A and B are shown apart, each in its own frame.
Chain A
Amino acid sequence: MKDNRTLSYINLFAILGAIPKLCQECDEARRLIENDEISIGFSVKNGPRATLIFDKGECKMVEGIEKCNIKLSFSKPEKFNGMIDGTVTPIPSKGFTKIGFLLKKFIPLTDLLSKYLRASEDDLKDEKFFKTSTLVMFYVITEAMSQIGNQDKVGMFSASNIVDGIARITIKGEESAYIVCDDHKLKTVHLHIDDYTSYMEFADINLARALFDGKVNAVSAVGLGNVRIGGMVSMVDNLNRILDRVSYYLA
């Protein structure tokens, strides 16, 4: 059963947290916010709190809501999750004068994010779209892994079996994400780290996409040499169990 609180962490840090990545990869997204200096704080009671900061075409997410211009508060995780799936319309508790940004920029931005995350077969025929979509998806998945490892009951069991260290997950020729495990707490890092304890590497972006879409089995891919694993393999093994939960939550 999906845990609403865990889902709210995924929705905030992995889904909305991918907006900065979308703005990096997608011109259309960047153009939407190129003249804006504004921040939106999301506060979920008994759940996550974070702020999206827009700064003239660049965007980042920080934990906490201390520096936001617009504040969206949610009484429980289910309400926040409802905003993400479009069944709840949020009302700002701060920043009423900036509601235009929410309507004219933020909502189109999230629509664009949906377009890339729930891509149609036709859109994916475009090489650039395919790449952006897959890289944003990679960002979402690797962020969601940490949220599930820290919040979901089953994910936390997997994390309890992970030794301290850093797992590198790579799409060869594209980019890497690093999952840092410290005392069974996980944190996803998207900056380069030299030393890592274990690795899982997808042969190329096409293979990564096929794995994300469930068209290829990861265990078979290891046998074929299309997925490389190594180092502290128990770490990879437990992260893969968390990865199984990602598809369950994001389905």
Chain B
Amino acid sequence: MHKINDYTKSREYFIRAEKVIPSGIYGHQGPAEGCYIPIEAFPLFSERAQGSYIWDVDGNKFIDYMCAYGPNILGYNDPDVDEAAAKQRKKGDCTTLPSTKMIELAELLVDTVASADWAFFAKNGNDVTTLAIMTARAYTKRKKIIFFKGYYHGVSPWTQKIDYSGIIEEDIVNNIYLDWNDFQAVEEAFEKYKGQIAAVIGQPYMHGNFMDNQMPEKDFWQKVRKICTDNDTVLVIDDVRAGFRMDIAGSDHYFGFEADLICFCKALANGYNVSALCGKEFLKNTVSGMSYTGSYWLSAVPFAAAIACINKMKKINCPKILIEKGKMLKDGLIASANKYGYDLHVTGIESLFYLRIANDPSLMLHQEWIAECVKRGVFFTNHHNHFINASLTEKDIKQTVEIADEAFSVIKNRHS
């Protein structure tokens, strides 16, 4: 039997945080949006991290399958990335003139990402998805954008919906929401709004929450690519979440097509703060003419980290080993679930897997199982896809499956 974690200090810190920070911890790392159910099962604040592990403020150690929601791809505190960052920090980071590291990183991305002829840098995924949409509108002189339901492209008003707090109708009036994999709907939208669609934006596959993730149907992206080309519409791939976990050359490359614009962040620099929009040559002048920048966007340390990260990902063939590790975990979890009569769905690519116990459509059983895993030191979340990192070992996977097995036995006993 594994020990059950105590989170006394996490609770105390949350009470302190809630007094001075709106909602205590906001956004996806907060207990509400993060679906920490029940709250008592989850830690709230971390003390440190190393490799595949995080330690919370109560000293509990977790095998971390959220990887900071994606940035941790090589392992926390990867020595090669940290060394490159440290060397650059000694030289300078946020300075009046940009470092030539910016050029090196752009050249590396152009050589690495199949559809990239240039790279533009910012800080967060939202910065570059927004730039992609602005670019598409500037280039086409059109307004409308096609989205696929279940999407997440950031938090700017254009990405949100009419019923979100602070959003007005004018923010989203040009958004067209279509079902994932429904190419007929795409065709109908192009017909209905002929000459008005600036961009189609999509994640490489549907990794929405609360439902099994869905891969593109055969030729879906090829058909979308063609209809965009035929209508002079810009095709944007939001690879912020999946980037470098499917294919080092970009997730569009994995599925055999080329985006006009592709957005990266999360795994780009193993936790150092940088994002990138890469694109086709024909859009470079458009981006050149735009007013778009930020105080820290040209900082050199994250550039150095990203260069080291990309080089190491290429050297170790990172997507391949992440998918292999994810496959090993997936097989172990499914076999354990089957032992107890549970139908565990593990969907999406194995390096970015989504979990759902399908026996109970209300998801309450699933939430019970996740809670029992977390309480024993495996950090899963209820309704978000998970992330594999390269430092995860077979021993970690074995221990994860052991804990998952114990968690299955607990919920089985509870409901028998």
Contact = CB atoms under 8 A, between A and B. Distances in A.
B110 interface: no
A223 B31 contact: yes
Contacts, number: 81
Nearest to A152: B163
A154 interface: yes
B32 A222 contact: yes
Contact of A234 (B30, B164, B209): B209
A245 B167 CA distance: 13
For B32, B33, B37, the residue with the greatest tally of chain A CB atoms inside 10 Å of its CB is B32
A219 B32 CA distance: 6
A101 interface: no
Contact of A233 (B30, B38, B383): B383
A243 B374 CA distance: 31
B18 A220 contact: yes
Contacts of A241: 163-165
A238 to B, nearest CB: 8
B39 interface: yes
Contacts of A198: 362
A233 B39 contact: no
B39 A223 contact: yes
Contacts of B367: 230-231
B14 A157 contact: no
B163 A224 contact: no
A223 B363 contact: no
A167 to B, nearest CB: 10
B210 A232 contact: yes
A11 B29 CA distance: 39
A69 interface: no
A228 interface: yes
A222 B39 contact: yes
In terms of DSSP, what is the predominant structure of the interface of chain A? helix
A39 to B, nearest CB: 37
B291 to A, nearest CB: 32
Given A196-B362, A223-B18, A223-B25, A234 B210 contact: yes
Contacts of B163: 154-155, 157-158, 238, 241-242, 244-245
Given A154-B163, A158-B163, A244-B165, A197 B37 contact: no
A222 B161 CA distance: 23
Interface string B117-148: 00000000000000000000000000000000
Contact of B18 (A153, A157, A224): A224
A223 B382 CA distance: 15
Contacts of B164: 241
Contact of B162 (A154, A197, A231, A234): A154
Contacts of B23: 217, 219-220, 223
Nearest to A198: B362
A222 B362 contact: no
A17 interface: no
Contacts of B382: 233
Contacts of A229: 32, 35, 37
Given A225-B39, A230-B37, A197 B361 contact: yes
A165 interface: yes
B406 interface: no
B35 A233 contact: yes
Contacts of A218: 32
Given A157-B161, A157-B162, 8 more contacts: A153-B162, A154-B162, A165-B362, A198-B362, A217-B23, A224-B18, A231-B362, A244-B165
14 contacts: A154-B163, A155-B163, A198-B362, A223-B18, A223-B30, A223-B32, A224-B15, A230-B37, A230-B364, A232-B362, A233-B382, A233-B383, A234-B209, A234-B383
Nearest 9 CB-CB pairs, A to B?
Answer: A222-B32, A219-B23, A241-B163, A223-B31, A234-B210, A158-B163, A231-B362, A219-B32, A223-B24
